[in-house]
A and B are shown apart, each in its own frame.
Chain A
Amino acid sequence: MNAIDISNLTKYYGKSRGIIDLDLAVKEGEFFGFIGPNGAGKSTTIRTLLGLISPSGGNAQIFGKDIVKEKEVILQKVGYLPSEAVFYSGMKVKDVLKLSADLRKADCKDEAEKLCERLQLDISRKVEELSFGNRKKLAIVCALQSMPKLLILDEPTGGLDPLMQREFFTILRERNQQGTTIFLSSHVLSEIQRNCTRAAIIREGKLIACDSVEAFSKTSAKRVTIHGSAALDKLEGIRDRKERDGAVSFLYSGEMERLLQVLAAGHVTDLSVSEPDLEEIFMHYYEKEGERK
């Protein structure tokens, strides 16, 4: 059974686009990445799945249950981490956790305690005193404490320091190994590359690619910048070449070994190899889409 099954899902806000004809399937037990720039429709997709907004067309199932008709059954099995978590002011962290557990008719005290300790969240603090990062931690504990079968995470790491991010992903991987399906929406590519097995890319409301992360990494290019000279013309797989202030910068999607050979043979005084920013990856996928058609 698929954890998430989306077919032809469409959402318009009045006349403006949310998502158009989205088709997507996430298998049970997968660690699935959902990538796209701001405004691409990631949150719209998630909010539709959770029943916060109703679809304009198409349908979707979570664990085989219809997202419109059987919303409450679905939500019982889903933990959701919103990108911007806001809680009722005046409440303490532990009261929020208790309220969340009560609304699920579950007793999650032990799990909540464990999670708070791992994430170093003080449960006696008042919600409005929490920093953005600490609010995020509270949202994480809320989403995870009931041990849901599916976790839907909307840009989860914003506001978390690197150490906490690492701890958070460690917890997620543990959960994933225990069989939890994870749907991770993000615009941080490295997060997806490091953790997910499969991923989908969404842009302007449409799904433009869906593949294993391994396949993505192979096809996705690196942004290489060199100072000095090298026989770059010998290389295959160079795109978007720019020269500025004696530096040459290009997108490289060829073999890494070949690049190293060429660079070693030349005179390179400085070198940087980085992930291309998301926009470049999208351009890459756009071109690919164009070629196929």
Chain B
Amino acid sequence: MIIVKHELRQGKTAFFIWTLSIGFLMAVCIFLFPEMKGEMDGISDMFSSMGSFTAAFGMDRLNFGTLIGFYGVECGNIVGLGGAFFVSFCAVSILSKEEKDRTAEFLLTHPVSRKRIVTEKLLAVLIQITVLNLIVYALSVGCIAAIGEEIPWKELNLMHLAYYLLQLELGGICFGISAFMRKGSVGIGLGIAAGMYFLNLIANIAEVADFLKYITPFGYAEGADIVTNESLDGCMVAIGMAIAAVSIVMAYLEYCKKDIH
């Protein structure tokens, strides 16, 4: 577990900055809720009359006047997108950075198998996103309690589970890409996260593009669907996890035979 420890130490600054940023933004949003609730009638009307913009963010199906409706849109975007960016950034560089920063020669000339390196680096990514989600989840529960709202446990748990799964999927995909990259890959990772997010917006707006929900992990992390159905779409989640698993297997296959320059 030496490499896991090493990775966590190397990544701790980025980890804390992302965790604090996501946590802080989310807390601000939650604390804004009581003030907005009073004026919600007008806001809800306004939001529901913005046509496809409303649909894009699922605001046509969520009631902005309830905490969970508000949470599903505002906090969902913060945690969903923020977490997605962090995990993409972290996973896409974790293998490739050794070659980019030219430290691969140091690491790989020690008596550690490539397989072990991949496994430990993957673990480091998993630990980071798990801890990030736990912190954000705890913070969220704390903030909701602090503003005196009743905690909607079921919806909240499902939503956070969905964000976690979404991050696992993106992490898996980016980890796979990382094994193939030699140079700067962060742009690709962030691009994928942003691209997936927009695919979901398109799927929300246009009915013909509904199938996109099966491609992007944001499809099953849609606050509006989770609140309405009170469950996650098992099929979408299964597809997502399968994509992540395949990507991770590809990472192993590629990295174990790769020429390191």
Q: Contact residues of A with B, CB < 8 Å?
A: 13, 47, 50-54, 71-76, 78, 80, 82, 84-90, 99-100, 102-105, 142
Contacts and interface: CB of A to CB of B under 8 A. Distances in A.
Contacts, number: 64
Contact of A88 (B10, B112, B259, B260): B10
B109 interface: yes
23 contacts: A13-B259, A50-B108, A51-B108, A52-B104, A52-B105, A52-B109, A53-B261, A54-B259, A72-B113, A75-B111, A75-B112, A82-B106, A84-B102, A86-B101, A86-B106, A88-B10, A88-B103, A90-B10, A99-B2, A102-B2, A103-B111, A104-B110, A105-B111
Contact of A86 (B103, B257, B260): B103
B144 to A, nearest CB: 37
Contacts of B257: 54
B106 A87 contact: yes
Given A52-B259, A54-B259, A99-B2, A87 B110 contact: no
A209 B106 CA distance: 31
Contacts of A76: 111
Contacts of B107: 103
A52 B106 contact: no
Given A53-B259, A90-B10, A103-B2, A71 B113 contact: yes
A279 B106 CA distance: 32
A50 B109 contact: yes
Interface range, B side:
20 to 34
Contacts of B2: 99, 102-103
Contacts of B104: 52
Interface string B82-125: 00000000000000000001111111111111000000000000
Contacts of B113: 71-72
Contacts of B106: 82, 85-88, 100, 142
B110 A103 contact: yes
Contacts of A104: 110-111
Contacts of A54: 257, 259
B104 to A, nearest CB: 8
Contacts of A105: 111
A74 B105 CA distance: 16
A86 B104 CA distance: 9
B260 A52 contact: yes
Interface string B66-77: 000000000000
Contacts of A80: 109
Instruction: For the complex of A and B, list the 7 residue pairs with the smallest distance between their C-beta atoms, beginning with the closest.
Output: A103-B110, A75-B111, A76-B111, A86-B102, A53-B259, A52-B260, A80-B109
Contacts of B105: 52, 82, 85-86
B154 interface: no
A275 B235 CA distance: 75
Contacts of A84: 102
B6 interface: yes
A76 B112 CA distance: 9
Nearest to A139: B106
Nearest to B117: A103
Contacts of A100: 106, 110
B184 to A, nearest CB: 16
Nearest to A82: B105
A201 to B, nearest CB: 25
A152 to B, nearest CB: 9
Contacts of B260: 47, 52-53
Nearest to A73: B111
A102 to B, nearest CB: 5
Name the residue among B2, B3, B105 with the largest chain A CB count within 10 angstroms: B105
Given A75-B111, A142-B106, 11 more contacts: A53-B260, A72-B113, A75-B112, A78-B109, A80-B109, A88-B6, A89-B101, A90-B10, A103-B2, A103-B111, A104-B110
Contacts of A78: 109
A72 B103 contact: no
Contacts of A102: 2
Interface in B163-178: none
A87 B102 CA distance: 8
Contact of A87 (B103, B108, B259, B261): B103
Contacts of A142: 106
